Structure 1
Amino acid sequence: MILKLAAEATQTTQLNLTPQLKQSIFILQIASDELVDFIQNKATDNPFLDIEWPSTGINGSNKGGTAGIDHKDRWLNNLSRPGETAETALLAQLRLANIPKSTLAIAQYLAGNLNESGYLEISVDEALAACHADEKEVLYALACLQSLEPAGIAARDLKECLLLQIQRDSSPDPWAAELIVNHMQELANGNRKQLADKLDISIDILLDAIAYIRTLNPRPGLAFGHQQQSYIQPDAKVQKVDGEYAITMTDAFLPKVIMNKEYRSLFTGNISGDISAYVRNQLQDAEQLLWGLAQRKITLRRVIEIIVKEQNAFLEKGVSCLKPMNLKVVAAQLGLHESTISRAVQNKYILTPQGVYALKYFFPFGVSTVSGEEASAESIRTKIKLLVEREDKKRPLSDQQMTDLLNKDGIQISRRTVMKYREELRILSSRLRSY
């Protein structure tokens, strides 16, 4: 065999982000309170930047003077400490756990992403990206978190929540796990005799298992006090003026960033050596920051204008009339990339006549209606929640009954989808809700 070496040319395309673009992307996606800290740090390090805090007239050229910081703290950080919540209780337990520091950091992040019911609100993929960890590390950290008290905490869905409690029970019902893993839908359907025959057990044994399942807690997070609501600063306010909805950007609390012209004029002459390079880099960084802030404001305003235009029914009547929106469609309307819209709606809030909502709330998955339009998954979940709240507690509505009621209301939805949304709401089946 003869080996030969040969040179071969290949052509590849690679996207390289400039520092200016990277900073612009970062500025676009961070929340307003984080932006304040980012601006403060930039102004402290860059002699070309001055900041003025709102309604004080204090110039930030002192580079981080006490007055500026105190004023910012009064705007954003004058919040009383919350009482014990699921997060604070879990963090206290984690500090006593004998786990590696890297695992501890991931577990702490996950603990901060639980809802009031104690369920994990983010996916494993989102945790991977946020923590810069691999799947094995995140799953191990999640297992550590789920091993804490109360049992069932940090579950990703209702089934996992109930199974975690069964696993921790020293004397669980022998059939409970089997029923939850493989027969939840059959339990919901209520044909107990058929299910008992299928499992080859007596009806009494099945009823004992169902009674045991009812003792499990579908919302372990409620054992703690509700987390104190932080004062979210909306990025925009929408209100009706002369019959039309008007948008007001509420960025007045943000510090004003300006170029220090006097300092800049000192370096207009010829400067050589390392000083020249330093000055040039700092000046360029200041200009990039001002450009990024301007682009953030423009993009955010344009996205909110589209939301207000599309969500007129929601603004008038509430969540039940929420209309699904698609990032790709909005991006096409604005002539921007879909990822830009995604970043623009992250960590941003809007004050509407219906309350304060995150911008990403307006981009839900949609379900068809008989009129050919779409109803958002969020609006359907709201309807299901209302149906359960108003039902006869002695005769709870089955998934099929709720499906029929929604169909009569013009929403084309299957019983399986109703069951999925019910479980996402952490609502037990009708058989397990009956008294």
Structure 2
Amino acid sequence: MAMELKLSTNLKMSQKLVMTPMLQQAIKLLPLARLELAQQVRQEITENPVLEEIIEEDELQDETETDEEAEIAEPKENFEVIDEKNKGEEHTLENPDMDWDTYFQDNIDRGSSAENYTEQPTIETTHQKEPSLQEHLLWQLNLSVDNDRMSFIGSCIIGNINADGYLNANINDIGEISHADESEVLTVLKIIQEFEPLGVGARSLQECLKIQAQADENCTPLVLKLIENYLDRLEERYLAKVSSELNVRIESILEAIKKIKRYNPKPGQTFNSERIDYVVPDIFVIKTENGYDVTLNDDGIPRLRISPYYQNLLKNSAKGETKDYLEEKHKSALWFLKSIDQRRQTIHKVGK
């Protein structure tokens, strides 16, 4: 039996979900952490001139101007829904997809700002890089010495100070590295040992405590004597013998030991560069009189708006490359603003 081949035309109707660019952008923004979102927002401000950050003074001025404007149409909230009446119309300021000036004010169930409840630290404060021990010592060295030779010797010494604040290298080794005499190295080391934190640059625990004791106005001669001669014998079982040798009452020795315990045996630890970066939440759950309420944490995330300058420029510019460019950036800015607000609504609803 012969097979017959022929061409035919069929009409088929089907429904499928299409990912619009605006929906794709909203999905990309949704899983971002607060820091990542803040970086994305600042990058968008850099790339899109139509977007600008809202400053408090500008926000107060805009609120005054908004009160004087006429009523504006109700905004749309669905990504996929397209108004068939305006489908063939061009996207311009005279015929926008939605009114973004009132969208964020009229949109319900988006939560209140956490600033109404507690004052949160700024992102610059929470993520500020603390200076290391070496950086702090070099800064003090530059203020203390006035010639390059002593500065170089001091940098060699500071480079050999460990995280606890102790000098790990020998004086002779530092002298060979810096091409200096032992007396010069000791002179500079003496200067460094007067820096903050007290006790830094010491070569032993005894020297570290002695430096701090000499700088203490309330230090007694007994404290210095215990540090210099009896530091390894300050346990309770040796106190009677130490009291007999010094011809001092045990009570006085106990008071001196209390002062020694106040000194820091590891002064460099106060400038430990390893710090804990705590996770900053996207929402806060706050107890109220009626139960619990969920608020959004917008601290550190720039607040955006469409630049009035570029709005007027787009409205008054003639058709051409400039107008096409502004319309493209204006539409991209609207998408970005709505994606951010959609993210806020989603997080608030999930948290609630």
Give TM-score scaled by structure 2 length: 0.40
Greater Cα radius of gyration, structure 1 or 2: 2
